[in-house]
Structure 1
């Protein structure tokens, strides 16, 4: 019979079941690491989801009498894109021009003498770009028979930082549809003040969307 040594008394051996359990866990761990490191033929990484964090902005849209028509929300979609969500009411049925204007001032008493429309304090469309291709051009709103309109879309024409520049910005809803200056040149009219015979100056500037019936200052939110 083997006599117990001094080493045996100092370092007792672990039970056999413990040794087996440790060995099994080590083998399983190695197998898992091997599978994780093995590329599956034809597989691709999951597409990255756009980040919707990092701040928002919003605007309350009012008509010239101060009545609330609705609201517009701006969210950061990713580094270059912004999600726009709008819900308004009290509009005439049909399409309405919907734009970002370059100045964050919605004064109904500021009436454009040439057109008689209020909110001229909001300035021109957010630039750069000509009408129809400018940063401030957004899809038109389609109001139902009950006067409500809602939409949600993603655009890369402006970021939240663009909306919160030194002058601020405003959203404007127009009385009529916006043709985005898409009048074919084959439609002839007498030369306007700029000598153009295709889309006239009014069309090129506003898209013939008509009066500004709603305005809302864009305000950043944390």
Structure 2
């Protein structure tokens, strides 16, 4: 009799202990539901803004860099450029008006390749430093690599895709952004003018075009 009583008591105590450590199904359900909702939310893609990109190539057709353009809040665009295999130093870096990068298209005046890219991209007929596509110089390190990020409010991503598209061009020399004080004269100018001349106003004396990439939608 004593043995049966002890056995019954042990079974009762075991059931009580097991019950104390378990979680009722009604309480477990909200926790499982919250975890499921969190996982689903974390996998849901965020709404993306328009973006564009370009592969830059030199005159030999070799890839020398990449450009990405992302639409930002307040009608701003962020440009991120990465290059390699370019000459050390500062280089003019602009968005140009036409989406054609033909190294065989030589400018008859400057003898520069990639004349097919046209002039600087602009939404208004203004002189240099006012062009929508004018950007700060790109600095290339001793190993030939360079990278920069620029934010501009002069154009939106969608505006790069007009009837003839657009491109990005890296020049051989730094862009002086037409920063020529009026005290400097240029005697060769028949008008006897001072400050930046007509050639400087085009592209800031940034020289020939050494790399070009057609901008396409991502």
Deviation track 1:85-110 (CA, whole Å, cap 9, x = no partner) reads 00001111110000000000001110
Question: Structure 1 length normalisation: TM-score?
Answer: 0.73
Gapped regions of structure 1 (runs ≥ 5): 1-50
Higher normalized helix content (fraction of residues): 2
* CA deviation vs aligned residue, 1:162-186 (integer Å, no higher than 9, x gap): 1111110000000000001010010
Alpha-carbon distance in structure 2 between the residues aligned to 1:191 and 1:97: 25
Question: Hey, what does 1:13 align to over in structure 2?
Answer: none
Output the CA distance in 2 between the equivalents of 1:212 and 1:194.
Answer: 29
Q: Give 2:56's aligned residue.
A: 61
- Report if the CA contact (8 A) 1:87-1:150 is conserved: yes
Give the match's secondary structure for 1:214: strand
Question: Is the Cα contact below 8 Å between 2:186 and 2:192 reproduced in 1?
Answer: no
* C-alpha deviation, 1:196, in angstroms: 2.6
SS in 1 for 2:132: coil
Consecutive aligned runs of 4 or more in structure 1 exceeding 4 Å deviation: none
- Partners of 1:134 and 1:193 in 2: how far apart? 26
With over 3 angstroms needed to count, the CA separation of the structure-2 counterparts of 1:197 and 1:66, relative to structure 1, is same
- Does residue 171 of structure 1 match 2:168? yes
Give deviations 1:54-104, integer Å, cap 9, x for gaps: 221000000011010110000111251011100001111110000000000
Superposition map of 1:51-200 within 5 A: 53-127=48-122, 128=124, 129-190=126-187, 192=189, 196-200=193-197
1:52 deviates by 8.4
Going from structure 1 to structure 2, the CA distance change for 1:112 and 1:82 (only over 3 Å counts) comes to same
Is there any run of 5+ residues in structure 2 with no aligned partner, and where?
A: 1-45
- TM-score when normalising by structure 2: 0.75
Report the number of matched residues: 171
Residue pair 1:96, 1:176 contacting (<8 A) in 2 also: yes
